[in-house]
Amino acid sequence: MAHAAPASRRMITPRRRPDVFGERTHLAVKVGLPIVLGLVYGYWAAANRRDGGPITGWNLLFGFVTAVVFAALFAAVCALAPLLRRELHALCWFVFAGGAVGFLYNQTGASVLSSSGLGLVVGAGVLAMVFYRYYTHEDAAGRRIG
């Protein structure tokens, strides 16, 4: 009869991936990513609203306010969503991504109905993708695997 070979201690204990970046790099990304993405998003929203016309002071103000709001919401979702269960975590990203895309599309002059529809479609795609990722990388208690 065949018997199972004894497993070494190294095979039994789960291995963690090595952290190739230091704490300073993680902090820089944690602070810098919302700022950079906020500036890009604010510029994009201001450009959509301007529709090829001249750049005005109100347009600049709109772009910077949009950038600040987007950066704050992005940082909040990045900080608070991992504390939630995987379903609510994915739902947070659905609401954020759908709202962001819908708002950008609304600045082009599209109707609220079509902006909401596009936001729902994009948000649903994000929800499916993010839920699948969390479902396959967490156990039932919500702890990360590996």
Q: Which residue has the higher pLDDT, 146 or 69?
A: 69
pLDDT score recorded for residue 135: 85
pTM for the whole structure: 0.81
37-69 b/e with 16+ CB inside 10 Å = b? bbbebbebbbbbbbeeeeeeeebeebbeebbee
Tokens of 138: 């967490």
4 token code pair: 């199972």
Q: How far apart, in whole angstroms, are the C-alpha atoms of residue 123 and residue 80?
A: 18
Q: Look at residue 146 in the predicted model and tell me its pLDDT.
A: 60
Q: Are 55 and 29 in contact (CB under 8 A)?
A: no
Local confidence band at 130 (pLDDT 50, 70, 90 cut-offs)? very high
